[in-house]
Structure 1
Amino acid sequence: TAAPRAWPPRRPWLRAGLGQLLARTDTEQRIEIHKLRQGDNLILGFSIGGGIDQDPTQNPFSEDKTDKGIYVTRVTQGGPAEVAGLQIGDKIMQVNGWDMTMVTHDQARKRLTKRNEEVVRLLVTRQSLQKAVQQSMMS
Structure 2
Amino acid sequence: MKTIFAVDDSPTARASIEYTLSKAGFQVVLAEDGVKALEKIPSTPQIDVFLFDVNMPNMDGITLIKEVRKLADHKFTPILFLTTESQESKKMEGKAAGASGWVVKPFDPEQLIAVISRFAGE
TM-score under structure 2 length normalisation: 0.31
More helix, by proportion: 2
Q: Which has the higher contact order (CA 8 A, sep 6+)?
A: 1
TM-score under structure 1 length normalisation: 0.28
**Largest Rg, 1 or 2:** 1
More strand, by proportion: 1
